[in-house]
């Protein structure tokens, strides 16, 4: 299945640009337009860039989570359009999860439209009192992190009581009730006829780092010890790195499902036995031969110190490839690891062809993911070169990049 997202509107723009002075002219312009349209339809081959989603890898990574959290049910976190992969593209592979956790009603509607009848959790709850109506209709479970959300529930008219996940701010200081106010929130919710079951959740700030989860876990356990209800505390990093300590009824992995190591560079995806779920690939559009002293790209950021073949690849920051990547960023050409040189442009990058002397016009360039020869370039390495994390690169793949699902 190939989802070719962008170009439709461009055609409409063309037709608006046709100006006719009389009917005859208008008819002939119309015929020209139809002919142009036909030609366009036949010959509009997209740029060679493609993001490919790998369902088998998604399934593998879900199994990996299951093995790490044997007694827990698994929320597959598919917010941010399944971390840029497309909810529809990952759904079949992840339907072995126990539920889908996501951000908003639009994403929840998409999951229901795919036929999912099981649990769906709004991780930040509702953003407006009116959203509760759709929660009732779609049977959504939702986080409750503030007094306003409880007020809205108290005023909500529903025949179907809601399942809620009461969120504690155990130290991250983003969303949730502080430990001192948690019990009062629970008591209020518990008294509402609109509420069916109350589960308890919190979120860790340092599960991927040296500080760890012990301090927040102690706060959470202390404040909830005698409260009934299921618990959900672990994201990807906690699930893999602190499996014992963060054991609970539900885990909430996101990034590991998408094959990125939650604690890179301390550990890489191979260490956690994760497989890449997205490959971003393109082709060489041109090859240049440089001499010592020749420079490459905007700002002449790279200077050749001797004869050098470079390839020009059809990807740029307008595709979501980060402009912060600089000379040295890893890239695969025909499955051979090499480096980017010079600045990332809007639609192109330039790569050193020294390790791949046979590379030529049309050679395959893998920006991250798996090359046709099986070599993997972890997204985390590219993210590191850009001073960011794999999460951001996945989410930032631009709409103009066509997406295919393999298998
Ligand atoms: C509340 C909550 N739970 C779980 C996750 C999944 O986190 P990760 O992708 O690090 O596993 C997120 C993501 O930020 C989140 O906000």
Tens digits of residue pLDDT in 355-368 = 999 999 999 999 99
Indicate which residue's Cα is closest to atom 16 of ligand 1: 123
* Interatomic CA distance for residues 50 and 2, integer angstroms: 10
Query: Is the shortest distance between the CB of 202 and ligand 1 below 6 Å?
Result: no
Centre of ligand 1 from the C-alpha of residue 375, in Å? 29
> Confidence class of residue 7 from pLDDT cuts 50, 70 and 90?
very low
Which of the residue ranges 15-29, 46-60, 112-126 would you say has the lowest mean pLDDT? 15-29
Of residues 327, 337, 403, the one with CA closest to residue 374? 337
Centre of ligand 1 from the C-alpha of residue 67, in Å? 19
What is residue 46's predicted lDDT score, i.e. its pLDDT?
A: 83
Q: In testing the pocket of ligand 1, which one of 123, 220, 274 has its CB within 8 Å of the most ligand atoms? A: 123
Mean pLDDT over 332-354 rounds to 98
What is residue 347's predicted lDDT score, i.e. its pLDDT?
A: 97
Q: Which residues are catalytic?
A: 79, 298
Tens digits of residue pLDDT in 380-393 = 999 999 999 999 99
What is residue 407's predicted lDDT score, i.e. its pLDDT?
A: 84
Query: Which DSSP category does 47 fall into?
Result: P
What is residue 29's predicted lDDT score, i.e. its pLDDT?
A: 57
Question: Helical H runs in 203-320?
Answer: 214-224, 236-241
- Mean of the per-residue pLDDT values for the chain? 92
Mean pLDDT over 118-125 rounds to 98
Query: Is the shortest distance between the CB of 389 and ligand 1 below 6 Å?
Result: no
CATH 3.20.20.10 domain residues, the chain: 55-258
Share of the chain above pLDDT 90, in %: 87
Which of the residue ranges 17-21, 93-97, 192-196, 387-391 would you say has the lowest mean pLDDT? 17-21
What is residue 40's predicted lDDT score, i.e. its pLDDT?
A: 59
Centre of ligand 1 from the C-alpha of residue 270, in Å? 21
Tokens representing 368? Answer: 């991250």
Which of the residue ranges 173-182, 243-252, 304-313, 323-332 would you say has the lowest mean pLDDT? 243-252
The 10 Å Cβ neighbour count of residue 2 is 10
Q: Euclidean distance between the first and final Cα of the chain, in Å?
A: 9
Query: Which DSSP category does 200 fall into?
Result: E
Ligand 1 atom with least separation from CA of 262: 10
CATH 2.40.37.10 domain residues, the chain: 278-405
What is residue 13's predicted lDDT score, i.e. its pLDDT?
A: 27
Tokens representing 42? Answer: 């036949």
Cβ-based burial of 47 (10 A; exposed 0-12, middle 13-18, buried ≥19)? middle
Phi, psi for residue 61 in degrees, rounded to 5: -70, -35
Q: Angle 169-173-176 (CA atoms, 0-180°, nearest 5)?
A: 35
What is residue 11's predicted lDDT score, i.e. its pLDDT?
A: 29
> Confidence class of residue 35 from pLDDT cuts 50, 70 and 90?
low
Topology of the domain comprising 55-258: TIM Barrel (3.20.20)
* Interatomic CA distance for residues 189 and 183, integer angstroms: 10
What is residue 19's predicted lDDT score, i.e. its pLDDT?
A: 34
Query: Is the shortest distance between the CB of 260 and ligand 1 below 6 Å?
Result: no
What is residue 8's predicted lDDT score, i.e. its pLDDT?
A: 34
What CATH class is the domain 278-405? Answer: mainly beta
* Interatomic CA distance for residues 358 and 218, integer angstroms: 58
Centre of ligand 1 from the C-alpha of residue 254, in Å? 6
Ligand 1 atom with least separation from CA of 77: 6
Tokens representing 361? Answer: 């016009």
């Amino acid at each position: 299945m190939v989802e070719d997202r962008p170009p439709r509107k461009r055609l409409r723009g063309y037709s608006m640009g046709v100006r006719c002075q009389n009917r005859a002219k208008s008819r002939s312009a119309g015929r020209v337009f139809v002919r142009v349209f036909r030609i366009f339809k036949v010959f509009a081959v997209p740029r060679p860039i493609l993001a490919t989603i790998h369902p088998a890898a998604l399934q593998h990574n879900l199994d990996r989570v299951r093995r790490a959290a044997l007694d827990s049910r698994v929320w597959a976190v598919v917010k941010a359009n399944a971390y840029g992969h497309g909810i529809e593209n990952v759904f079949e592979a992840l339907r072995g999860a126990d539920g889908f956790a996501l951000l908003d009603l639009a994403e929840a509607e998409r999951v229901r439209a795919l036929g999912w009848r099981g649990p769906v959790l709004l991780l930040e709850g509702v953003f407006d009192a009116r959203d509760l109506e759709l929660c009732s209709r779609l049977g959504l479970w939702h986080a409750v992190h503030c007094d306003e959300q409880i007020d809205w529930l108290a005023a909500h008219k529903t025949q179907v009581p809601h399942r809620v996940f009461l969120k504690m701010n155990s130290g991250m200081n983003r969303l949730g009730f502080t430990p001192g106010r948690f019990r009062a929130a629970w008591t209020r919710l518990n008294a509402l006829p609109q509420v069916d079951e109350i589960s308890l959740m919190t979120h860790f700030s340092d599960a991927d780092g040296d500080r760890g989860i012990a301090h927040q876990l102690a706060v959470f356990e202390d404040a909830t010890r005698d409260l009934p209800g299921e618990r959900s505390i672990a994201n990807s990093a906690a699930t893999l790195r602190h499996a014992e300590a963060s054991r609970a009824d539900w885990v909430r992995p996101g990034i590991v499902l998408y094959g990125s190591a939650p604690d890179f560079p301390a550990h890489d995806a191979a260490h956690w036995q994760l497989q890449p779920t997205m490959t971003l690939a393109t082709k060489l559009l041109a090859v240049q031969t440089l001499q010592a002293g020749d420079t490459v790209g905007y700002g002449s950021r790279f200077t050749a110190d001797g004869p050098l073949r470079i390839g020009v690849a059809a990807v740029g920051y307008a595709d979501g490839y980060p402009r912060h990547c600089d000379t040295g960023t890893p890239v695969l050409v025909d499955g051979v690891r090499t480096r980017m040189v010079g600045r990332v442009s809007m639609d192109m990058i330039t790569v050193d062809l020294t390790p791949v002397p046979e590379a030529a016009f049309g050679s395959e360039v893998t920006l991250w993911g798996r090359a046709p020869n099986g070599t993997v370039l972890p997204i985390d390495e590219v993210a590191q070169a850009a001073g960011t994390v794999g999460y951001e690169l996945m989410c930032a793949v631009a709409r103009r990049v066509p997406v295919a699902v393999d298998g």
